[in-house]
Amino acid sequence: MSTQTPTASRPAPPTLSTAQGVWLVAEREIGGKLRSRSFLISTAILLVLALGGVLWMGFSANDDSSTPVAATAATSAQLSEMPGIEVTEVTDRAEAEALVRDGEVDAAVLPDDASPTGLLVVANESAPQSLLMQLSVMPSVELLDPDAAGDGPMRYILGLIFGIIFMMAAMTFGSPIAMSVIEEKQTRVVEILISAIPARVLLAGKVLGNTVLAIGQIVLLIAVAIVGLVITQQTALLQGLGAPLVWFAVFFLFGFLLLAAMFAAAGSLVSRQEDSGPTLTPVIYLTMIPYFLVLIFGQNTIVMTVLSHVPFSAAVAMPIRLYFNEAQWWEPLVALGVLLASCALVIALGAKIYENSLLRMGARVKLKEALRG
């Protein structure tokens, strides 16, 4: 008669809380990126390019090079009042021509009674255009809004900077979320993951991990820009960019959360990377279109006001309006409220699509089916 010995009961594996599960997935996403040599190299190149661009713009703006010109006593007084002209006074035409031939000055301005302007410009091969433009007879110009005359280039530069940063970060950290979801479905790894943690926890961890990486890259870019502005002594520009940069970081955080949820949901609809084009294209358009709209309509105050309250373009349009003091104090708060509401709605819909589509293999899942579950 055989006897059975009782086996020792094994303790049940500890269950993860929602927060622990989210952070575990986030750590996996962050660690994978930080161990990627291509990611580190591309980030370093981006920081170097950003610092180089800020330094180049600063040194170009501080470049006060002038055009050296020789002049006699009869013309030196008139030239000395012109900006960007460095006058070397000479006694006669022969001395002026000698300086021009030796290359010590770019041109010489001499009196000439036969000329309509009473002046004669002597140069070697070609006369400096900056000098000729200032000597030309031009009609008087009266500007009704002189303060806005120089805003155009700066608006374009700010739109270019904020837009590129937002678009590049969204594509750098948003697209890999979709690719990771598709890869996990294609290799069936997602079935193992879902057996350990809920789908919504997996989605939240992916979004959180990539958001941390994106915000970290933005902080590094802002730090590099501040260093470049300090080196080039652009303190006035740095002071003016303080509040817009803070608001850009805030809008970027929630704007990226919105796009990250959309990328994850789009990736869950397909089981192969070859089928991801139709699902990812709308999200990519929503990432790129606001950038181009801000560049095209940067001078249109009505369009910029609308764009600064649209969730997908607020991160680019609102900081520009704040820099030029075009937005009331309450407008960023209203735009942030709209963005938060949109973010909550899109994340809820994205989580539903993700949860309903994650374990469905084979053909592409239609959006209606994913929402209906």
Question: Which distant-in-sequence residues (6+ apart) come within 8 Å of 171 by Cβ?
Answer: 284, 287
Tell me: do 173 and 256 sit in the same domain: yes
Task: Determine the structural domain holding residue 100 and report its residue range.
Answer: 68-131
Tell me: do 122 and 239 sit in the same domain: no
Tell me: do 107 and 186 sit in the same domain: no
At 333 the pLDDT is 95
Tell me: do 181 and 303 sit in the same domain: yes
Tell me: do 322 and 367 sit in the same domain: yes
In a domain, 339, yes or no: yes
Residue 338 scores a pLDDT above 90: yes
In a domain, 319, yes or no: yes
Tell me: do 200 and 97 sit in the same domain: no
In a domain, 25, yes or no: no
Q: Span 97-114, mean pLDDT? A: 85
In a domain, 214, yes or no: yes
Q: Which of 7-16, 234-243, 349-358 has the highest mean pLDDT?
A: 349-358
Tell me: do 121 and 264 sit in the same domain: no
Q: What is the pLDDT of residues 277-306, one digit of tens each?
A: 888 998 999 888 888 888 888 888 899 999
In a domain, 50, yes or no: no
Tell me: do 295 and 361 sit in the same domain: yes
Tell me: do 287 and 327 sit in the same domain: yes
Tell me: do 368 and 266 sit in the same domain: yes
**pTM summary value:** 0.73
Tell me: do 221 and 81 sit in the same domain: no
In a domain, 304, yes or no: yes
The total of structural domains in the chain comes to 2
Tell me: do 172 and 104 sit in the same domain: no
In a domain, 220, yes or no: yes
> Max Cα separation, the chain?
136
